[in-house]
Amino acid sequence: MRNLTKGTLAGIGLLLASSTSVLAQELTILWAEWDPANYLQELVNEYQAESGVTVRVETVPWPDFQTKAFTEFNAQGSAYDLVVGDSQWLGAGSTQGHYVELTDFVAQHNLTTAMAPATMKYYSEYPGGSGHYWAVPLEGDALGWAYRKDLFENPDEQAAFKAKYGYDLAVPETWQQLLDIAEFFTRPDKNMYGAAIYTMNAGDAIVMGVENSVFAYGGSFGDYANYKVTGQLNSPASVKALEDYRKLFTYNPPGWGNAFFVETNTALAQGQVAMAMNYFAFFPSLINEATNPHAKNTGFFANPKGPNGDDFAALGGQGISVVSYSQNKDEAMKFLEWFIKPETQKRWAELGGYTCDAKLLESAEFRNATPYNEAFYQTMFKVRDFWALPEYAELLTEAADTFYPYVVDGQGTAQETLDKLAATWVDTLKSAGYAAE
């Protein structure tokens, strides 16, 4: 193997040499291991051909992404020049000095208008509304739904549905319809279930799922600007939303308490469910016949409205930031300048990336390019996000630990669950030094 001797020599050499020997003309981007990172590597290969600068996209497994990135940041490591970080990282990235401030860059290139407004707001600005920017939106993402068109369009099913619920079986426009449809298709004797949703008690899985219903019901996870939790997180709207999320869970396949993006896609591809919740980034495999036998019969829709007509969805996605400990900051900025060019963004979308470029998103060409792009376009204008404080991860694990027993095990009530979480969050925020209530 060609790297054997090289590796050994490097190993010995590095004992004495400092770890700063990153070659100039070389940039390293850290991201998680998934196809968008592969697409990004393909994209930056073209940058190399143009500029002569080698760009490597280094990936780590999703569950370890946060650990790896923050271990590097916290030790002020220069191993990575750029990082494609989660929207929630902005708080820590900006206040702890891990990210280079890009406010001037954003102004210079008019990014606030060039990129879709929600993406600038959630992937770049921190604190919210402050006009300080820390990232360039790279991969737009949000929660959407995939469904089995063949089941929805089957005349027998349509007749049976109409007889039972009194209205036509179609893509749900409200959460109530979503629940009806899920109930309708739940047929355990035929190994068929209504929906597959996020339930895993790890990372942001179950919390993202609950967010999707809470936001649509007009509830909230708190007033982020004023650190107000009580009365918001446990408002009647949030309680109803959580109750319905639990109800939806009962229309999932048995033992569905360990599910995240992999499992929901698998359930749909294996014909086990009629609808599946997932991030848009994971939908390409559902229109690929090699990975989904129902590819031709899979449709997509944006998160339905809540009972009061509120229309929101939970945000995913990432922006790319320059790591302030990098020794190639100038090169990194040059790369960002290239990345935001409209032709680069167009190429990015062609390769499979979810561009955040406003003009591209609105173009008919983009919206018709895939069966899910239209739903993605609709969703990106109605997204809301989780807390982005440096302490977001504490809030996130506390939320997951609290939601899980209610949603999956059916312990307690939605009101008790949210009251308990509100109290926990107030404590956590207070001990982090915020004037929380």
Partner 1 sequence: MAVVSTRAGRLGNRLAIAAVIIITLIFLSPIYWITSTAFKPLLLSTTVPPTVVFEPQVTPFVKLFVKRAQLTGPVDQEIYDAAPWWEKLVLDGGERLSRDGKGNVVYSAYPDRFVNSLIIAITSTLLAVSMGTITAYGFSRFRVKGEADLLFFILSTRMLPPIVVAIPMFLMYRAVGLNDTHIGLIILYTAFNVSFAVWLMKGFIDEIPKEYEEAALVDGYTRMQAFFKIVLPEAATGIAATAVFCFITAWNEYAFALILTNRRAQTAPPFIPSQIGTGLQDWTVIAAGTVLFLLPVAIFTFLLRNHLLRGMSFGAIRK
Partner 2 sequence: MMTRLDPKSRAATRGWSDITIRNLFIVPTVAFLIIFNVFPLLYSLGFSFTDFKASSKDAANFVGLKNYVDVLADPVIWRSFATTLWYVIVSVAGQFVVGFGLALLLNRPIPGKGLLTTLLMLPMMLSPVVVGLFWKLIYDPSWGILNYALGLGKVAWLTDANLALYAVAITDIWMWSPFVMLLSLAGLSAVPKHLYEAASIDRAGKFYTFFRITLPLVAPILLIAIIFRTMEAFKTFDIAFVMTGQPAAELISSRLYKMAFQQWQTGPSSALAYIILIMVLCITNIYVKYLNKAKER
Interaction site with partner 2 (CB under 8 A): 66-67, 70-71, 73-74, 92, 96-97, 200-202, 253-258, 266-267, 270, 272, 390-391, 393-394, 396-397, 400-401, 404-405, 408-409
Q: Which of 62, 105, 381, 434 binds partner 1 (CB under 8 A)?
A: 62
Q: Which two tokens stand for residue 58?
A: 């280094």
Verify binding: residue 364, partner 1, rule CB under 8 A: no
Distance CA 9, CA 157 (A): 67
List Cα–Cα distances, 10 to 77, 81, 328, in angstroms: 19, 21, 21
Distance CA 349, CA 402 (A): 38
What is residue 115's three-state secondary structure? strand
Q: Which is nearer to partner 2, 263 or 331 (CB)?
A: 263
| Dihedral, 436, 317, 304, 358 alpha carbons, nearest 10 | 110
Q: Which of 107, 159, 170, 262 binds partner 1 (CB under 8 A)?
A: 262
Distance CA 293, CA 90 (A): 39
Residue list 323-342, contact with partner 1 (CB under 8 A):
none
Which option in partner 1, partner 2, none does residue 79 bind, with CB closer than 5 to 8 A by kind? partner 1
Which option in partner 2, partner 1, none does residue 404 bind, with CB closer than 5 to 8 A by kind? partner 2
Q: Which two tokens stand for residue 285?
A: 């495999």
| Dihedral, 253, 291, 205, 404 alpha carbons, nearest 10 | 10
Contact 269, 294 (CB under 8 A): yes
Least Å distance between CB 392 and partner 2? Answer: 10
Which option in partner 2, partner 1, none does residue 333 bind, with CB closer than 5 to 8 A by kind? none
Verify binding: residue 363, partner 1, rule CB under 8 A: no
Which one, of 44, 66, 67, 46, lies nearest residue 55 by Cα? Answer: 44
Verify binding: residue 11, partner 1, rule CB under 8 A: yes
Which option in partner 1, partner 2, none does residue 405 bind, with CB closer than 5 to 8 A by kind? partner 2
Amino acid in the structure at residue 308: N
Complete DSSP assignment for 51-111 = H--EEEEEEE-HHHHHHHHHHHHHTT--S-SEEEEEGGGHHHHHHTT-BPP-HHHHHHTTH
* Peptide linkage before 127 cis (omega within 30 of 0): yes
Verify binding: residue 254, partner 1, rule CB under 8 A: no
Which option in partner 1, partner 2, none does residue 11 bind, with CB closer than 5 to 8 A by kind? partner 1
Q: Which is nearer to partner 2, 159 or 202 (CB)?
A: 202
Number of residues in contact with partner 1, rule: CB under 8 A? 67
| Dihedral, 256, 261, 264, 270 alpha carbons, nearest 10 | -120
Which option in partner 2, partner 1, none does residue 254 bind, with CB closer than 5 to 8 A by kind? partner 2
Q: Which is nearer to partner 1, 36 or 172 (CB)?
A: 36
Which option in partner 1, partner 2, none does residue 113 bind, with CB closer than 5 to 8 A by kind? none
Give the contact letters, 273-292, x = binds to partner 1 (CB under 8 A), - = no.
-----x--xxxxxx-xxxx-
C-alpha Rg value of the chain to the nearest Å: 23
Contact 326, 22 (CB under 8 A): no
Instruction: Give the footprint of partner 1 on this chain (CB under 8 A).
Output: 1, 3-4, 7-8, 10-12, 14-19, 28, 33-36, 38-39, 41-42, 45-46, 48-49, 56, 58-62, 64, 67-68, 71, 74-75, 77, 79-80, 191, 261-262, 265-266, 269-272, 278, 281-286, 288-291, 293, 350-352, 370
